[in-house]
Amino acid sequence: MNTQDLYIQNSLTREKEKFEPIEEGFIGMYVCGPTVYSDVHLGNCRTFVSFDVIYRYLLHLGYKVRYVRNITDVGHLTDDADQGEDKIAKRAKLEKLEPMEVVQKYTNGFHDMMDVFNTKKPSIEPRATGHIMEQIKMVEAILDNGLAYESNGSVYFNTVKFASENEEYGKLSGRVIDELMSESRDDLKKQDEKQHPSDFAIWMRADETHLMKWESPWSIGFPGWHLECSAMSTKYLGEHFDIHGGGNDLKFPHHENEIAQNMGACNCTPANYWIHTNMLLMNGRKMAKSDNNSITPEQLFTGDSEHISKAYSPMIVKFFMLQSHYGSTLDLTDAGLLAAEKGYKRIMEANRYLQAIENGGNGNEDVEEKIGTLINQAQADMNDDFNTPKSLSRLFELVPIINSHKDGKEGFSDISQQVIDKLKQTFSIYLFDIFGLKDEFESEGNAISSKFSGLMELIIDIRKDARTEKNWSTSDKIRDKLQELDIQLKDGKEGTHWSLN
């Protein structure tokens, strides 16, 4: 594996593969967005933070990326077996709102949360209801190809026929149609409209009470959930594009059926690389309200939950997520968050010090070689399937070097200006551009923080005089009172530094 090349773990082949874009320099990436029927789930946040880092890294590599992430605002049923209510409509009735009010409300909430986590906005964020025509056209194409059938105003994708003509069905999820068949034979009688239980609706006839419905050649109805992603990815990225992503839980049936629809419509596989993010657990188990084992992003930020001992800021939560690989389950625990908080502060503080270094020394070969190696490894780690935890660990290994410079240690102090600049650039690019973190103190508003800094310098100066006079009671009083305000003084060889706790 060449560390200069990007490798991606491809869910479709279950292999780590070298990434080669369809068109040199350009990447089309589609990620399944949220169904906006309730407040965004913390697990969703992890997924979109993961793809945000992937997006940012691809941009960093110089690709021109078209990142499409949809908003599902129709067709996602409470029960995936093509029965049950539309999630949006159900919520609309519950809250006595127009369906589109529900959609707007939770879309706004989702966007706000994505901002809180400092993720970049996608290039295009299409909505299912805005693409009914495209979906109807796709149903027609699939019908024309003989891979769907109409039944009582609804249209179903014929999985049996598709699977018999094509080995693709089940490839992503590892499911085999024969098994699906034998598994659910008992169901067959119940479903009079479907020819086979594994068939799925691509258009559904709506009854009179249904809130969201459109005219189509088959009935007044609405599109099946899986169809929107096929239609919108095709519209904005073409029939064949580079990367398709989503949460692990969408692999089956959603993504499997998406592939089937695209192939059924144009006989081409939609994406070369499929990326699936893994689940966020809490205390070792899945988050579920019914088990009282769940926490919302807001609760994390306010500390208002029995599961955590204190509040954690968004960047600490994000840092916590980045310390695991997107493909692994991540276990949210109070101890884990506490550790992440300390780590986050340590690395941010080192960066703040680093960026303020003005003059380099004469150069020190040993240290500079070590720095160069670590910087290269950080990049190689990101190239290896976006390994953020490993890449972060390289930055952490650079922290003692930076802090030694602060202490005026021999060897570390005479790093050349060139290497210092390289370090500055590396930290800035990785922490902020690629990982999308923010220094929460720095971002609190420059006007305030610069006055605040001036004030702190004054206080430190007064305390220094007291210390020179060995007036320990005054100097300790300043230190202790500031500590009570969560401002920590740190006496070092080069003078006193301060930080916010």
Partner RNA sequence: GGUCGCGUGGCCGAGUGGCUAGGCAGAGGUCUGCAAAACCUUGUACGGCGGUUCGAAUCCGUCCGCGACCUCCA
Residues that bind RNA in the complex, under the rule CB under 7 A: 14, 80-81, 173-176, 179-180, 183-184, 186-187, 248-249, 251-253, 278-279, 281, 284-286, 288, 323-325, 328-331, 333, 335-336, 338-340, 342-343, 346, 385, 387, 389-390, 392-393, 396-397, 399-400, 403-404, 406-407, 409, 467, 472, 475-476, 479, 488-493
For the bound state, the minimum distance from the C-beta of residue 416 to RNA, rounded and expressed in Å, comes to 20
**d(C-alpha 407, C-alpha 403), whole Å:** 6
**d(C-alpha 303, C-alpha 120), whole Å:** 26
Q: What is the token pair recorded at 219?
A: 């009935």
For the bound state, the minimum distance from the C-beta of residue 121 to RNA, rounded and expressed in Å, comes to 27
Reply yes or no: is the peptide bond before residue 217 cis, omega within 30 of 0.
Answer: no
For the bound state, the minimum distance from the C-beta of residue 404 to RNA, rounded and expressed in Å, comes to 5
For the bound state, the minimum distance from the C-beta of residue 457 to RNA, rounded and expressed in Å, comes to 17
Q: Which is nearer to RNA, 205 or 406 (CB)?
A: 406
For the bound state, the minimum distance from the C-beta of residue 209 to RNA, rounded and expressed in Å, comes to 23
For the bound state, the minimum distance from the C-beta of residue 99 to RNA, rounded and expressed in Å, comes to 23
Q: Which is nearer to RNA, 81 or 116 (CB)?
A: 81
For the bound state, the minimum distance from the C-beta of residue 491 to RNA, rounded and expressed in Å, comes to 3
Q: What is the token pair recorded at 137?
A: 């056209």
For the bound state, the minimum distance from the C-beta of residue 199 to RNA, rounded and expressed in Å, comes to 12
Q: How does DSSP classify residue 285?
A: E
Contacts within 8 Å (CB) and 24+ apart, 399-402: 399/346, 399/347, 399/350, 401/367, 401/370, 401/371, 402/350, 402/353, 402/354
Q: Which is nearer to RNA, 210 or 464 (CB)?
A: 464
Q: Which is nearer to RNA, 91 or 345 (CB)?
A: 345
Q: Which is nearer to RNA, 272 or 278 (CB)?
A: 278
Q: Which is nearer to RNA, 14 or 18 (CB)?
A: 14
Q: Tell me how far CA of residue 172 lies from CA of 11, 73, 80, 91, 148, in angstroms.
A: 7, 25, 18, 32, 21
Q: Which is nearer to RNA, 214 or 441 (CB)?
A: 441
For the bound state, the minimum distance from the C-beta of residue 284 to RNA, rounded and expressed in Å, comes to 6
Q: Which is nearer to RNA, 126 or 246 (CB)?
A: 246
**d(C-alpha 134, C-alpha 153), whole Å:** 19
Pair 330, 280: CB distance under 8 Å = yes
**d(C-alpha 82, C-alpha 76), whole Å:** 9
Element (H, E) at 156: strand 154-157
- Tokens 């999630």 locate to 87
**CB proximity list for 251: less than 8 A, separation 6 or greater:** 11, 172, 173, 276
Pair 501, 486: CB distance under 8 Å = yes
Q: Which is nearer to RNA, 29 or 337 (CB)?
A: 337
For the bound state, the minimum distance from the C-beta of residue 287 to RNA, rounded and expressed in Å, comes to 8
Burial-class residue 95 by CB neighbours within 10 Å (0-12, 13-18, 19+): exposed
Q: How does DSSP classify residue 282?
A: E
Q: Which is nearer to RNA, 173 or 305 (CB)?
A: 173
DSSP line for 237-254: H-SSEEEEEEEGGGIIII
